[in-house]
Structure 1
Amino acid sequence: MIPTKLDAARDLAIASAQAKSLETTLARLHTQRSGLTDDEAEQRLLDYGENRVATEKAPPVLIQLLGAFNNPFIWVLIVLAAISFVTDYWLPLRQGDDTDLTGVAIMLLMVTLSGMLRFWQEYRTNKAAEMLKTLVRTTATVIRRATPSGRPEKKEIALEEVVPGDIIFLSAGDMVPADVRLLKSRDLFVSQTALSGEAIPVEKYDLLANVSAKGSQASGDAGDLLSQPGICLMGTNVTSGSASAVVVATGSATWFGTLAKSVVGRRPQTAFDRGVNSVSWLLIRFMLIMVPIVLFLNGFTKGDWTDALMFALAVAVGLTPEMLPMIVSSNLAKGAIAMSRRKVVVKRLNAIQNFGAMDVLCTDKTGTLTRDEIILEQHLDINGHNDDRVLRMAWLNSHHQSGIKNLMDRAIIHFGSDNPAIAGLQRYRKIDELPFDFERRRLSIVVADEDDQQTLICKGAVDEMLAVSRYWMEGDALRALDQAARDRWHSRVENYNQQGFRVLMVAMRRLDDGTLAAPLCADDEREMVILGLLTFLDPPKESAAEAISALQANGVSVKVLTGDNAVITGKICRDVGLAPGTPLCGGDLAKLNDDELARAVETTTVFCRLTPQQKSRVVQALQGNAHTLGFLGDGINDAPALHHADIGISVDSAADIAKESADIILLEKNLLVLEEGVIKGRETFGNIIKYLNLTASSNFGNVFSVLVASAFLPFLPMLAIHLLIQNLMYDISQLALPWDKMDKEFLRQPRKWDAKNIGRFMLWMGPTSSIFDIATFWLMWQVFGANTSAHQSLFQSGWFIEGLLSQTLVVHMLRTQKIPFIQRRAALPVMLMTLLIMAAGIAIPFSPLGQAVGLVPLPWQYFPWLVAILLGYCLLAQGVKQLYIRRFGQWF
């Protein structure tokens, strides 16, 4: 009987229990050291499924298309179009009257343009994101037997075909294909960066073979799988050494698979989604209140309920910012195109605005703030001064070792590649070598110069090096390594450790008789002379400090969430200009309840030793405190936080699961693009909110004017078709807003959706426009005698032109908090579009279109009055704007 899938989810924890023997684990998995038979493997593949983890895929094209039309305002327009179809076409058709589909066509055109623009941009970015996925086929080496009594043979199989109970082989460069328990290992180092965030590879070894050597480490917490020396997890990779292991869990049952499942599926609402919804329902509620008032007021005062209904529907369309989805989509699409020029893929359009609203950026450390590579920083003597002798001996040791060079060896060789201190060392030849092992924690090389003078050079962990040393060098003086000297070296090393450096010690000994008498062995590592120390660091990216400074200058605070330790993280933070303060580590965070964490996240900059779930919990705590949150990360352990953040940011070299969880992918590891994204996001949001404020206040002013006119006029102040045409022309003029610029003052701080501010803006600016609408009513009634039903076309024509020109022209007054045309001018596309629409609005009553819809030419005497009314409106709007800014401290 083989274990079930439910058993597999528990087996890794059982295998990691250090007191359990390997035989217990093998028995639990119904396998043996000689591996599975082909039949057993085939059956387990059927029972467990392929060794794949859950991934998030782009929805089908049809679903994307339907989703692009799922917007409250689009639904309002569709409902209004349906009502208009019934009242303008279906009912008149049944009664034999003239039909009119103009209103329906206008509304459906708005719906189609808005939805299709959004669909095309998101479809295009989804395709680009799919192209970023890794296409390399990964394999694993396993032992399989043809029959139960057959001879075990090594086979290379696809990673997807690995099953629980397989015996696999790992060597340098291999990706660990599943969660495994080591059977036998040799000098095995594994990079867990993608899971833990730690840049330095960690040692792994088979427990039973190393209990005596590693007893102190083998007693750790068995629940922390990443720290277990006998366990390797899917998603990690071997940097050096080799091992055999038994597969304990595959696919979704792995530690990585469990993580992947948590980020697949419906994404939580972002700040953008919540903001759009709140504003949408504010305007819809306003419409639902005002439209019945208009309907009943006109119905009771005019007596024609059919005309009253048609006019109320036109008012409903006028109150609906039906171009909002298109304005939003075009603004976001323009932002996405601009970002693509900076080699940034925007997977989800809403992320552009969230970029601008972001007031907290949480970032992983390794690979995001740092270069994700180890470099040799210093080669020091006891006094902390760089000593070329230390570098030369270290270089000879690393250069001549025959095993797979680890990250520190490569860093030493790279550092010395263009260093003059290394010149001439090629004259040394290698005599013998004693490789690194876990018990000694040292690597020794014997080299000889051209005079055959042999030197033993040793480098390794500090305590193990001190144990085999008898002397140390201070300048050119040879000193005895007494306890005071040992304490001094320990103090120096501890100081570097507190600065975040990894430290190795370098020592040497000239062989007494000049030659090596026998093959080099551990006993030869004695009476060594300590030369100095090597300090290593995963350095910050060159752009990190400048990018963080720019973000902070733009009102975005930066917090670091990492799986690495507090000392190293604090060092990196200081290097990039962040004050680390008192870090909050994962163990302490786990003890906090949600309320305590909500308070802690506000005052903490560095969160260290976090699990993936803890990173996500910090993100959600900050969101619960009303922050719009971005998360920058590239590892598997960052995926949950990327998924829950308002804007997830990753890089093209990130783990696939991180890229799938992200909203934005950087194709170049230049963090300065983050500032550009923030500014572009705020500019995008500013133009969206500009359209909303201007349109909502203008529409409210129109409705207020309609209510006043309906109460006193014996006819409708404007026909329904006039309102639809006026509304469409105004909306067309606003299509140029994505190309407009925002005031620099607006771009300095994060910007969020605020339905209350929009409502306040409507109440201030709407009645301001109504003053001049009412002045136009008086003008047409008193001066031009349009005060009877016979002259209603003249009245309606006069208000049509004034209404369209006033709400189009005032865009220039209200689009900036500065003095328009003097301190700040609109972008050229906005200038041209508004001039074009204003000219077209004046021309319509004189055109066949105007005659067809009941508009008439106006006498030339009307236009000086029109100029005076528009000038007065502009001056009053500027005055009200200044009062508003002084009263509320902001404009948009």
Structure 2
Amino acid sequence: MPDRTGRSVADIVRSNVFTRINAILGVLFVLVLATGSLIDGMFGLLIVANSVVGVVQELRAKRTLDKLAIVGQARPVVRRDGVARAVAPGEVVLDDLIELGPGDQIVVDGEVQEGEHLEIDESLLTGEADAIGKVAGDQVLSGSFVVSGSGAYRATKVGRDAYAAQLAAEASKFTLVNSELRNGIDTILKVITYLLIPAGLVTIYNQLFSSHESWRSALNGMVAALVPMVPEGLVLMTSIAFAVGVVRLGQRQCLVQELPAIEGLARVDVVCADKTGTLTENGMRLAEIRVLSDVPQKSLRAALAAMAADDPRPNASVAAIAEGCPDDPGWSRSAVAPFSSAKKWSGSSYGAHGNWLLGAPDVLLDPDSEAAATAQRIGATGLRVLLLAESDRPVDAPDAPGTVTPRALVILEQKVRPDARETLEYFAGQDVSIKVISGDNAVSVGAVATSLGLPGGQDPVDARELPTGADDMADAVEQHTTFGRVRPDQKRSMVSALQSRGHTVAMTGDGVNDVLALKDADIGVAMGAGSPATRAVAQIVLLDNKFSTLPHVVAEGRRVIGNIERVSNLFLTKTVYSVLLAFLVGVAGIGSQIFHYDPMPYPFLPRHVTIAAWFTIGIPAFILSLAPNNERARTGFVPRVLRLAVPSGSVIGVMTFIAYLIAYQGAGQTETEKVHASTTALITLLIIAVWVLAIVARPWAWWKVVLIAGSVAGYLILFTVPFTRHFFKLDPSDTALTGAAVVCGLIGIVLVEFAWWLTAAPTGVAGRMLTRRGERES
């Protein structure tokens, strides 16, 4: 099979170095070098930074994914020279004999050699929901999994030849595509590309033909106008945020099989949780065998011990029975009926020793019987109850189970996960609904849900009574929170019903009965100790089997999306004001030829636009992209970003142009007057840009105030220290012009603030920020 993460180190380096943005900046860097002004080529460091940071972060994420993938991958049991041992999927070779049991994933194509009631689910490949019985000689395909029974098959196609190899390889790549966030950024970049062409042409014409400056000054002005139009850090910050998210989650033993899952889980508003293995621990303990007939308990224990010993792949319940009844009587089994989620029972026939059944009391018993009432009463306390019964016919008979005679209730203790309550409370606090969907008895499921304080847990629904119509099913799932006796196909239908009502659904599970629902959910979350089939179809695998890891995944997704939206505002504001300023100066320069007034060159040098980005975008954006952010992701990423960036960028562009007009002394200005003019325009730009940073950073916390104050302090140092003033060609000594720049900046702040309240308040952003501020103050 191809490597799980797909991209090699060479591919990662190539994709981060040879980018469109690096190409644009590279050409502009060469043009600046041609003028002999190396200082003005400082923006060329962005090429190195973009490449190095992107490569390092993606390599870290790849290394994390590779390590976790080894831990989380299915390990088929291969029989060689009569000895069975688990191997990595990549070690399976042609003609290997691979053993199968319930929940096992079929990792390569093959032919069944032996089988005992072997049933394979091929729905992930064919869409056929019903399990298909397999006998010796039948073909099995990679990507399917065992529902019930056991057997072995011989590998006939491995590696890239296997049926599902290409699908698995494609689905497992380290990918950043197919997400609203990435699609939104791609849309923004396309719009910017269209804006760059006319703005660039106007700027080039103005600088080279209208301004009447030397070719060196003209080129420097042209580059200074074009460089800030490129949102050079936007894609980089997005990649960093995703990659850091993968590494952070990897440290919590959470394997993210598809990167957009980080974003997807942040949008989730309903979590469907399986009870066993999610809310409760996998391990169980045999608490009691309550006899229902005159059969001696010794005989009942013998039957339980025989059934447990004969099960080649015991589930958690059977394993607990085997531990509690260790004395195998050595009976000879004549027939077997494996357990399946559909029929809810298993059985073994032992000739003269009887035909024994083990399964759900509410399935095998008359609901009006005293034994059924007893089982329900015990299950209501949160214990797991199985019925041990005898049948009047072999368990593999077509009409099995036939007449059922109850013999005993097998009572198992389930331990609720200590972190389950805290996790449910977290989701409740985040307005995320929880639906407990389990194959267990509804009353037992309700008892567990109630013990965890889940609203609606005291009113569990038996899924056998659910309506079959899509709308009626959706109504029932919306209204209730706890469901028992849910079949695998019903879990899938319930997920679809929630999605039909506009919900983004996450499904958690660990058993083979959860596979179909995991696959159809918006986000599938599997437990590391679950079946290989569930781990194969899930986007996220909790390798430590802790349900409490899920809030960290949600928080990481929210951090990524919320912070990328913040920094997108900064980068796009810069693009908007750069394009607008270039247009205004360019049109004014072209107008000078028509109306015969003094031409107007671009006000800034490349070094000016470089330092303008340092403390208003570059450093703050990096810090904000990694900061905590717990607001649930919403749709409409692009409109929300443009709602702030366009008016803010427009205000900055216009006010900077006005400040430049005030300070500009005409074509005959001296070099000192030219520096005064550019400094005046730059002060206005920086004052408003810092305030935009302050708006984006809302709601303010102490560290955000320090960040903004640090930005202001950084610029004060640049404008006041003699060395930096000389190095960057800054001169704020003309108090009249500096005062005019400050006034223009303050007017710009008022306009930006007004625009923000005008556009943010209708969307609820302002209200949420004021609410959070009030909560902190109280």
Give the TM-score normalised by the residue count of structure 2: 0.69
Structure 2 CA distance, aligned partners of 1:350 and 1:462?
40
Q: 1:805 to 1:722 in 2, by over 3 A?
A: farther
Say which of 14, 31, 34 aligns to 1:66.
14
Cα displacement (A) at 1:58: 3.6
Alignment correspondent of 1:721: 606
2:681 is equivalent to residue 799 of structure 1: yes
Moved more, 155-164 or 676-685: 155-164
Query: What one-letter code is carried by the residue in structure 1 that aligns with 2:676?
Result: L
Q: Does the Cα contact within 8 Å between 1:394 and 1:412 map onto a contact in 2?
A: no
**CA displacement 1:834-872 (0-9 Å, x = unmatched):** 24532343247x43x654665445245665665555555
Give the whole-Å Cα distance in 2 for the aligned partners of 1:413 and 1:64.
51
Structure 1, unmatched stretches of 5+, are 1-52, 143-153, 198-221, 418-429, 447-455, 468-483, 508-527
Q: SS where residue 504 of structure 1 aligns?
A: strand
Q: Distance in 1 between matches of 2:102 and 2:514?
A: 25
Instruction: Tell me: CA distance 1:490–1:195, structure 2 relative to 1, closer, same or farther (3 Å).
Output: farther
Question: Between Structure 1 and Structure 2, whose CA radius of gyration is higher?
Answer: 1
Q: Which residue of 2 aligns with 1:82?
A: 27
The whole-number CA distance in structure 2 between the counterparts of 1:557 and 1:258 is 38
Q: Does 1:276 align with 2:162?
A: no
Contact 1:376 1:411 in 2 (8 A): yes
Q: How has the CA–CA distance of structure 1 residues 553 and 131 changed in structure 2, closer, same or farther, with 3 Å as cutoff?
A: same
Provide the secondary structure at the position in 1 that maps to 2:547.
coil
Is 1:263 equivalent to 2:168 in the alignment? Answer: yes
Identity of aligned residues (%): 15
2:369 to 488, 491, 507: 488
> Which residue does 1:669 correspond to in 2?
545
Displacement after TM superposition at 1:62 (Å): 0.8
Give the match for residue 812 of structure 1: 694
| Separation of aligned partners in 1, 2:52 and 2:694 | 25
Residues matched between the structures, number = 704
Distance 2:409 2:445 in 1: 22
TM-superposed deviation, 1:400: 9.2
Cα 1:409–1:690, aligned 2, differ >3 Å: closer, same or farther? closer
Name the amino acid aligned to 1:79: I
Whole-Å Cα distance in 2 between the matches of residues 393 and 639 of structure 1?
37
SS of 1:683 mapped into structure 2: helix
The one-letter amino acid of 1:811's match is L
Q: Which amino acid aligns with 2:233?
A: M
Contact 1:583 1:604 in 2 (8 A): no
For residue 427 of structure 2, what is the aligned residue in structure 1? Answer: 551
2:272–2:436 Cα contact (<8 Å) kept: yes
The reply to whether residue 758 of structure 1 matches residue 641 of structure 2 is yes
Moved more, 747-756 or 565-574: 565-574
Cα 1:587–1:879 change in 2 (3 A) is closer
State the SS of the aligned residue for 1:757: helix
- What code does the residue aligned with 1:768 have? V
Alignment of 1:622-661 (within 5 A): 630=506, 632=508, 649-653=525-529
Please give the alpha-carbon distance, in whole angstroms, between the structure 2 residues aligned to 1:120 and 1:770: 39
Deviation at 1:693, TM superposition (A): 0.9
Residue in structure 2 matching 1:733, options 606, 610, 619:
619
Q: 1:333 to 1:839 in 2, by over 3 A?
A: farther
Aligned partners of 2:265 and 2:506 also within 8 Å:
yes
Write the letter of the residue equivalent to 1:118. Answer: Q
Change in 2 beyond 3 A, CA 1:300/1:134: closer
TM superposition shift of 1:84: 4.7
What's 2:65 paired with?
A: 126
Instruction: Tell me the secondary structure at the aligned position of residue 672 of structure 1.
Output: helix
Deviation, structure 1 residue 633 = 5.0
Q: Which moved more, 1:102-111 or 1:172-181?
A: 172-181
**Equivalent position of 2:759 in the other structure:** 884
1:81, 1:107 within 8 Å by CA — same for their partners in 2? no
Matches for 1:27-176 after TM superposition, within 5 Å: 56=4, 58-69=6-17, 74-85=19-30, 87-89=31-33, 102=41, 105-132=44-71, 138-140=77-79, 160=92, 163=95
Which has the higher mean CA deviation after the structures are superposed, 317-326 or 625-634? 625-634
Give the distance between the partners of 1:583 and 1:414, measured in 2 at CA. 32
Write out per-residue CA displacement over residues 475-514 of structure 1, whole angstroms, 9 at most, x where no aligned residue. xxxxxxxxx999624754896899996632479xxxxxxx
| CA distance in structure 2 between the partners assigned to 1:463 and 1:634 by the alignment | 20
Letter in structure 2 aligned against 1:66: R
Residue 750 of structure 1 aligns to a residue in which SS? Answer: coil
Q: What code does the residue aligned with 2:759 have?
A: Y
The residue identity in structure 2 corresponding to 1:264 is A
Amino acid at match of 1:111: N
Q: Which moved more, 1:633-642 or 1:792-801?
A: 633-642
1:701 aligns with 2:577: yes
Q: Is the 8 A contact 2:94 2:155 kept in 1?
A: no
Q: Which structure 2 residues correspond to residues 178-577 of structure 1 after superposition, within 5 A?
A: 224-226=130-132, 247=153, 250-251=156-157, 258=163, 261-265=166-170, 269-295=178-204, 302=211, 311-346=221-256, 351-361=261-271, 367-368=277-278, 371-373=281-283, 376=286, 398=304, 403=309, 408=317, 410-412=319-321, 438=335, 441=347, 460-461=357-358, 488-489=369-370, 492=373, 503-505=386-388, 532-535=408-411, 541-544=417-420, 546-557=422-433, 577=454
CA separation of 1:275 and 1:876: change in aligned 2, threshold 3 A:
closer
Q: Distance in 2 between matches of 1:303 and 1:379?
A: 99
In structure 2, the CA distance between the partners of 1:136 and 1:171, relative to structure 1 (3 Å rule), is closer
Give me the whole-angstrom Cα distance separating, in 2, the residues matched to 1:130 and 1:445.
Answer: 47
Q: Is the 8 A contact 1:379 1:532 kept in 2?
A: yes
Q: 1:807 offset after TM fit, Å?
A: 1.2
Q: Which residue of 2 aligns with 1:519?
A: none
Partners of 2:129 and 2:653 in 1: CA distance? 70
Q: Distance in 2 between matches of 1:280 and 1:569?
A: 54
Q: Contact 1:692/1:758 (CA < 8 Å) preserved in 2?
A: yes
Please state how far the C-alpha of 1:321 moved relative to its aligned partner.
Answer: 1.7
Counterpart of 1:163, as a letter, is D
Q: 1:437 to 1:642 in 2, by over 3 A?
A: same
Equivalent pair of 1:263/1:640 in contact (CA under 8 Å): no
User: Against the structure 1 CA distance between its residues 119 and 641, is the aligned structure 2 distance closer, same or farther, given a 3 Å change threshold?
Assistant: farther
CA distance in 1, matches of 2:232, 2:279: 43
Q: Structure 1 pair 400/329, CA: closer, same or farther in 2 (3 Å)?
A: closer
- Alpha-carbon distance between aligned partners in 2 of 1:588 and 1:229, rounded to the nearest angstrom: 33
Contact 2:578 2:653 in 1 (8 A): yes
Distance 1:463 1:226 in 2: 23
RMSD: 6.0
Provide the secondary structure at the position in 2 that maps to 1:807.
helix
Which whole-Å CA distance do the structure 2 matches of 1:545 and 1:771 have between them? 55
Against the structure 1 CA distance between its residues 740 and 224, is the aligned structure 2 distance closer, same or farther, given a 3 Å change threshold?
closer
The 1:874/1:714 distance shift into structure 2, 3 A limit, reads: same
Paired letter, 1:691: V
Q: Cα–Cα, structure 1 residues 828 and 416, in superposed 2: closer, same or farther, change >3 Å? A: farther
Q: Which amino acid aligns with 2:20?
A: W
Output the CA distance in 1 between the equivalents of 2:731 and 2:164.
69
**Residue 594 of structure 2 corresponds to which residue in structure 1?**
none
Task: Say if 1:566 and 1:585, in contact at 8 Å, map to a contact too.
Answer: no
| Letter matched to residue 81 of structure 1 | G
